[in-house]
Homo-oligomer: A and B are copies of this chain.
Amino acid sequence: MIEALLSDAQAAIRERPKTTRGPLYDAADLGFRPYWYPAMLSRHLGKKPEGIKMLGENLVFIRAGGRAYALHDLCAHRGMPLSAGTCLTDGTVTCPYHGWTYDVRDGRCVAALTDGPDSPLPGKKNTSVPTYPVQERHGIIFVYMGSGTPPPLEEDVPEEVLREDWTIQTVVSVWQANWRAAVENGFDAGHASYVHRNSMRWRTSMALQPAWSQVKESQVVGPYLRYGGGKPGAGEEIYPVVGRWPRHSWLRRKLADIGARTSRGRPFGNEFRLPCIIHNRYAYYTHVRWAVPVDANTTRNFQVFAGPYQGSRAKAFKAQYWLWHRWVFHMLFNNQDRDIVSKLDYYAPERLYRPDRSIVDLRKYIETHVRRDDGERPERTPDDVAGILE
């Protein structure tokens, strides 16, 4: 009945073109499982079990013998979260309800305290809790939630984050949005000129960011899909109806003039990497952001600031991060993204435009390159999915 009362104008909205998301990507509300993901920072995991939700599943992380382990967060007995339990020994976790105790390394039940020391339970069928491979590097705990043998960590994590001769700084923030909205936002040149136009980061740079940018075809470069930037627009433009936009202050224009004469216009590389990584190469550092799925409407972002520095230069790099980049880039700038993406209705009908070429390339790339849980790539080629994507 309500449908019948909708006006024609409303009906028009519903007839918009379908989305350019392919079927695998469209179904991935909770992400793609067979990849290494950052789960939490090392400094957040102490002696107590820590429950955390990712890819729609509840996990519990436990430190034992200095290493981190991950289990499915549900006792095999009656459905109690192990994250509410206790580590009675280094290497086990005990359920808070009846004292079932698991080896955190393999999830096997090693004792059922309330069944006595001679309990026949350990070793019996269906008494284990699933575990997930964990690796810890540079202060980040990574977990692999796929089935089968995981690939080497290096295959899924940008080398800047893993190399011992690099220094990294990390901040974690939660966005109220699906992970795909959070990823696409990072590969979207269009939004930058508008959303960040008045960001402190750009206000204080000695350059006017372009009012718009031409977007060329993205390129596959190793494990990355590299954004294909073309000729950018000027810092200010004259538009039909709207007129001059954006309108910069005299000071900002003046500084940009000086900047243009003195700087070397370093190129800024923007790349995507499966499963959910935005990878930005700057002259003196690299910025990496994972948009890790929590549930269908929540994303946990791991923002990493990485530089090839050691010793006293690493100290200077950290100082620069805490005094400037953490505040201006990771807080003020990225929170503009968080605030806008959390308002997006990601499942609304879409009507794309020229700068969305990067979004379409991204979606096509994911559809054709995503790893399947048996470790193989999809058999589909970009040509196969061309029909469904454009």
Number of interface residues of A (CB under 8 A): 101
Question: Which single member of B77, B116, B190 contacts A98 (CB below 8 Å)?
Answer: B190
- Which residues of chain A in 332-356 are interfacial with respect to chain B, using CB atoms and an 8 Å cutoff? 340, 343-355
- Asked if B72 and A9 sit within 8 Å, CB to CB, the answer is yes
Check B5 against A32 for contact (C-beta < 8 Å).
Answer: yes
Report Cα–Cα, A120/B240, bound state, in Å.
12
A10 contacts the other chain (Cβ, under 8 Å)?
yes
Query: Can you sample 12 A-B contacts with CB below 8 Å?
Result: A5-B30, A7-B33, A7-B130, A12-B126, A13-B74, A74-B345, A110-B240, A111-B240, A114-B212, A115-B354, A116-B214, A117-B238
Across the interface, do B119 and A354 meet the contact criterion of CB distance under 8 Å? yes
Rounded to whole angstroms, the CA-CA distance of A369 and B89 in the bound complex is 44
A203 to B234 Cα, complex, angstroms: 72
Q: Compute how far the CA of A92 lies from the CA of B245 in the bound complex, rounded to whole angstroms.
A: 14
The answer to whether A169 has its CB under 8 Å from any CB of chain B is: no
CA distance A213 to B113 in the complex (A): 10
Task: Give residues in A with beta carbon < 8 Å to B.
Answer: 1-2, 5-10, 12-13, 15-17, 23-24, 27-30, 32-33, 56-57, 72, 74, 76-81, 84, 88-89, 91-92, 94, 96-101, 103, 110-117, 119-122, 126-127, 130-132, 145-148, 188-195, 211-214, 233, 237-243, 245, 340, 343-355, 373
B114 touches A190 (CB 8 A): yes
